[in-house]
Chain A
């Protein structure tokens, strides 16, 4: 519509200027303000030169580490949204359940020394327990909470998802206590391997590797298997897929299984990075990962991976790069601020994300 209008108008810019309202002024002020903050802060920080190359490298590596965790969680959001058009608000909490299950596997393994003696098989066991738990819980939430809303429109599914999120959090709080439990901290994770002369902790390499392997498997499943094809078909058009003989129920279940498994891996990785589990831990990374999924273009699998990595790096480098330069005290407290601002800016200015144009156009 608007393309036609501007195409015919002799002075398209003038006519759009006439419709330039107060709201546009505010939105432009917001855009320009954020850009100025980012540019000004970066220039200020770089001129001050408070951080050396080693520190920047550390920020970057940490960003990639945490970003790959976000990417794993974002995959769950994006796949479920693709298939059901539902924001699975409880997905962050499903990640939390994986982290808890991993803890109950890891704690005895660390006590008996098995985690130190044979790290590979121990880590494998921990991941297996976590993935199994979070997958089962994801399936249960789908069956008990989301399936009745398959055809519902409006706010009901989202509100129900918020309820599920609360239910999971509070169940874990009740069953396992409100306190923070410390994750085991085996020695081998602290060792470093040198890359281009910079040391990178083995833990972070492990996290990135686990994430990459899981994402590769997921990508192969989605692209190469019959089930993956069915999944893509349902996310293109559920009704048409059903007419072509795709069992939509089965596809939805499969989607939740994949998302839950990714969330389980992510939960263990997240808990090993921050060395703690508690019932509320899934909330913030969940919201951020949703932001990452939107950033990458919701419904797009590669988009979620890219969005997660991007968000992780921005969040990790951001406080030092953008905020330190403008003289903010204690910029690290504002890490979440950067992530949330990015989330909101994406939702406002580019809700179809980086790789999501195709999908956004189709829905319009």
Chain B
């Protein structure tokens, strides 16, 4: 009871906490994060990946970052500017964080914890204690963490001129080290770059001299950019006429597209595959964005539409006993003929889904749609539907799409197909967003009753949201089917729906560029760090919670949404000119709609 009162008192006056207690709190939080990472098994996995071969692993880097971060947080969040107090508190924060980990190491050595926590392996103990055994190694851990925290504190207080180049340099080293496989493959494409590759990399990864070279180059680059180049570049851009500024923006987009087109060729088929998956999630994200972001209908059964698209393509094109062609008079179709049918089938299913849940609102809608999605999966998986849909074994032997005699079989070629589909879909999504229908959706999202009173036909508008959203998912499902050349019910779990939801929430609800950013961050990154694949859902869970708390508008929010959320919080909107511009563009397009 008394603990609770103390806690309440502390919560009531967060500012008045003495600095050392605050440092203790920060240290505890960072220490718990480190212990959590070790217990769940992320730390051991990270430890297996080198940043600099035989010097620093990703796990070491994470621990170092935790200790530095503890010191930096103490330094930046504290109001006191007394150097001595701050240095002691960051020392304390680092020490506390380190001692929590040391305590874990000690517990691992003494108790048979591994029987319960499978991740706490002897190898982990060895890395945590530097092979010295728990008492000595733990001491080293505590002292090291405390010193690093002071370093972090110093870095946080250092002038920006110094801090920024150092951070940029470190970031470059981490990226070059972690993604070494990928970068090495890319560098092999040219003779000159291949020679460079030989200088900084061995087959295992980054060498120490290579890392130093990258660090120094990145530092100098960052320093030069902030010191001499940034201001002139900005001034040059501002001095251009509006038309020319527009050209520069177009040039940026064109450059981005060209990069997208060239990257998979240079980087190989693995990257092609990853980019293709990202593309599929962008497609689905744009669909769900219509439902959730614009119309405010939280649909957790979205995967059902994806499944319909995939299964429709499968039964229309496959060379298997479950295909329509094998037991009816229908001919076996090509992918190009089957894809529109699959999309239409998804739209029909989307509307059929939408009708019963028209009157269900808010949170109940989420659960109802989730139930519908689960029903679809249970039915597809059951023996009842097995004669039609193949049951748990699924449908195999779906042919790859062909253009003339040329078969799109490589992941890279399929990526171009996905890219084309995404481009078309993005165009539709963009036009829909600012259309009369898009406005109606937003009105329904903001207040259903008022929207209805203003003459919006709720039934029509909601069913269109479900149907059109489903069309995007159906298209994605159709491509997914030919990508795998087979469909199984286990590919269509609820997890996919949540995954797509996470993509649009991280990116920013109601924002098209946001969907892309979200898909790259949530689908692309975990796919590139392959061994972390099993932790991607943990990552999603954390992303959902953190985004909702810290940045509910997403990483790349739409202009309107940012304004809404920020205005409520009473904060000033950053990036004022860009804002006004996009607002103006929006007004103009709104006018166009009214005129036409």
What is the interface of chain A, defined by CB distance below 8 A to chain B?
21, 23, 26-27, 30, 87, 104, 145, 148-149, 155-156, 158-160, 162-171, 173-178, 249-250, 283, 287, 290-291, 294, 328-330, 333-334, 336-337, 340-341, 343-344, 347-348, 351
**Which residues of B have CB within 8 Å of A164?**
541, 545
Contact (Cβ within 8 A) A175 B356: no
- Give Cα A158 to B505, complex, Å: 12
| In the complex, the 5 A-B pairs of residues with the closest C-beta atoms, listed nearest first | A163-B544, A166-B541, A174-B40, A170-B538, A167-B541
Our count of residue pairs bridging A and B at CB distance below 8 angstroms stands at 155
Chain B 166-193 interface mask (CB, 8 Å, partner A; 1/0): 0000000000000000000000000000
Q: Which residues of chain B from 488 to 540 have any CB-CB distance to chain A below 8 Å in the complex?
A: 494, 498, 501, 505, 534-535, 537-538, 540
- Give Cα A337 to B368, complex, Å: 13
19 A-B contacts (beta carbon < 8 Å): A21-B459, A156-B552, A158-B363, A159-B548, A160-B548, A163-B542, A174-B534, A175-B41, A176-B117, A283-B494, A333-B382, A334-B378, A334-B379, A340-B374, A343-B371, A347-B364, A348-B356, A348-B357, A351-B360
Contact (Cβ within 8 A) A165 B541: yes
Contact (Cβ within 8 A) B542 A167: yes
Given contacts A104-B116, A174-B119, A343-B367, A160 and B549 within 8 Å (CB-CB): yes
Which B-chain residue is minimally distant from A25 (CB atoms)? B355
State whether the Cβ of B39 lies closer than 8 Å to any Cβ in chain A: yes
Which A-chain residue is minimally distant from B497 (CB atoms)? A162
Which A-chain residue is minimally distant from B8 (CB atoms)? A249
**Which residues of B have CB within 8 Å of A30?**
356
Contact (Cβ within 8 A) B383 A330: yes
The distance from the CB of B500 to the nearest CB of chain A, in whole angstroms, is 12
**Which residues of A have CB within 8 Å of B298?**
155, 158-159
Which B-chain residue is minimally distant from A284 (CB atoms)? B374
**Which residues of A have CB within 8 Å of B119?**
174-175
State whether the Cβ of B381 lies closer than 8 Å to any Cβ in chain A: yes
State whether the Cβ of B348 lies closer than 8 Å to any Cβ in chain A: no
Contact (Cβ within 8 A) A167 B356: no
What is the interface of chain B, defined by CB distance below 8 A to chain A?
4, 8, 36, 39-42, 116-119, 292, 296, 298, 352, 355-360, 362-364, 366-368, 370-372, 374-375, 378-379, 381-384, 386, 459, 494, 498, 501, 505, 534-535, 537-538, 540-545, 548-549, 552
Contact (Cβ within 8 A) A340 B375: yes
Main secondary structure of the interface of B (DSSP, over half): helix
The distance from the CB of A80 to the nearest CB of chain B, in whole angstroms, is 12
Contact (Cβ within 8 A) B355 A23: yes
Contact (Cβ within 8 A) A344 B375: yes
**Which residues of B have CB within 8 Å of A149?**
548
Q: Which of B40, B360, B542 contacts A348 (CB 8 A)?
A: B360
**Which residues of B have CB within 8 Å of A23?**
355, 358, 459
- Give Cα A267 to B119, complex, Å: 24
- Give Cα A156 to B8, complex, Å: 25
Given contacts A27-B356, A166-B498, A347-B360, A337 and B379 within 8 Å (CB-CB): yes
- Give Cα A283 to B538, complex, Å: 15
Which B-chain residue is minimally distant from A177 (CB atoms)? B118
- Give Cα A343 to B36, complex, Å: 36
Contact (Cβ within 8 A) A334 B545: no
Given contacts A169-B537, A344-B375, A26 and B367 within 8 Å (CB-CB): no
**Which residues of B have CB within 8 Å of A328?**
384
- Give Cα A250 to B5, complex, Å: 11
Given contacts A334-B378, A348-B368, A174 and B552 within 8 Å (CB-CB): no
Given contacts A159-B505, A333-B381, A174 and B356 within 8 Å (CB-CB): no
- Give Cα A201 to B78, complex, Å: 62
**Which residues of A have CB within 8 Å of B498?**
162, 166
Contact (Cβ within 8 A) B544 A160: yes
Given contacts A155-B298, A328-B384, A330-B382, A174 and B41 within 8 Å (CB-CB): yes
Given contacts A158-B366, A175-B39, A330-B383, A336 and B378 within 8 Å (CB-CB): yes
The distance from the CB of A159 to the nearest CB of chain B, in whole angstroms, is 6
Q: Which of A165, A178, A250, A329 contacts B383 (CB 8 A)?
A: A329
Which B-chain residue is minimally distant from A345 (CB atoms)? B356
Contact (Cβ within 8 A) B364 A351: yes
Which B-chain residue is minimally distant from A147 (CB atoms)? B11
Given contacts A337-B375, A337-B378, A348-B357, A162 and B538 within 8 Å (CB-CB): no
Contact (Cβ within 8 A) A26 B355: yes
- Give Cα A40 to B375, complex, Å: 21
The distance from the CB of B129 to the nearest CB of chain A, in whole angstroms, is 21
**Which residues of A have CB within 8 Å of B362?**
155
Q: Which of A168, A170, A173, A334 contacts B384 (CB 8 A)?
A: A334
Contact (Cβ within 8 A) B548 A340: no
**Which residues of B have CB within 8 Å of A175?**
39-41, 117-119
**Which residues of A have CB within 8 Å of B501?**
159, 162
Which A-chain residue is minimally distant from B369 (CB atoms)? A344
The distance from the CB of A352 to the nearest CB of chain B, in whole angstroms, is 11
**Which residues of A have CB within 8 Å of B545?**
145, 160, 163-164, 167
- Give Cα A283 to B497, complex, Å: 15
Question: Apart from A163-B545, A333-B378, A336-B374, what 8 extra A-B contacts exist at CB < 8 Å?
Answer: A23-B459, A145-B545, A158-B298, A159-B548, A250-B4, A337-B382, A344-B368, A347-B357
Contact (Cβ within 8 A) A163 B535: no
**Which residues of A have CB within 8 Å of B374?**
287, 336, 340
**Which residues of B have CB within 8 Å of A348?**
356-357, 359-360, 368
**Which residues of A have CB within 8 Å of B386?**
329
- Give Cα A164 to B370, complex, Å: 17
The distance from the CB of B542 to the nearest CB of chain A, in whole angstroms, is 6
**Which residues of B have CB within 8 Å of A145?**
545
- Give Cα A250 to B379, complex, Å: 45
**Which residues of A have CB within 8 Å of B494?**
283
**Which residues of A have CB within 8 Å of B367?**
87, 287, 290-291, 294, 343, 347
The distance from the CB of B352 to the nearest CB of chain A, in whole angstroms, is 8
Which A-chain residue is minimally distant from B459 (CB atoms)? A23
The distance from the CB of A200 to the nearest CB of chain B, in whole angstroms, is 29
**Which residues of B have CB within 8 Å of A155?**
292, 296, 298, 362, 366
**Which residues of B have CB within 8 Å of A167?**
538, 541-542, 545
**Which residues of B have CB within 8 Å of A156?**
548, 552
Given contacts A174-B40, A174-B41, A333-B384, A344 and B363 within 8 Å (CB-CB): no
The distance from the CB of B237 to the nearest CB of chain A, in whole angstroms, is 37
**Which residues of A have CB within 8 Å of B541?**
162-170
- Give Cα A175 to B113, complex, Å: 11
Contact (Cβ within 8 A) A87 B382: no
Given contacts A175-B40, A176-B118, A343-B371, A329 and B384 within 8 Å (CB-CB): yes
Q: Which of A160, A166, A250, A340 contacts B540 (CB 8 A)?
A: A166
The distance from the CB of A150 to the nearest CB of chain B, in whole angstroms, is 12
The distance from the CB of A85 to the nearest CB of chain B, in whole angstroms, is 8
Which B-chain residue is minimally distant from A283 (CB atoms)? B494
Which A-chain residue is minimally distant from B45 (CB atoms)? A174
**Which residues of B have CB within 8 Å of A169?**
537, 541
The distance from the CB of A32 to the nearest CB of chain B, in whole angstroms, is 13
- Give Cα A290 to B545, complex, Å: 21
**Which residues of B have CB within 8 Å of A148?**
549
**Which residues of B have CB within 8 Å of A177?**
118
The distance from the CB of A111 to the nearest CB of chain B, in whole angstroms, is 11
**Which residues of A have CB within 8 Å of B118?**
175-177
The distance from the CB of B107 to the nearest CB of chain A, in whole angstroms, is 14
Which A-chain residue is minimally distant from B355 (CB atoms)? A26
The distance from the CB of B289 to the nearest CB of chain A, in whole angstroms, is 13
The distance from the CB of B294 to the nearest CB of chain A, in whole angstroms, is 13
Given contacts A175-B118, A340-B371, A344-B372, A170 and B359 within 8 Å (CB-CB): no
**Which residues of A have CB within 8 Å of B40?**
170-171, 174-175
**Which residues of A have CB within 8 Å of B363?**
87, 158
The distance from the CB of B8 to the nearest CB of chain A, in whole angstroms, is 8
- Give Cα A160 to B8, complex, Å: 24
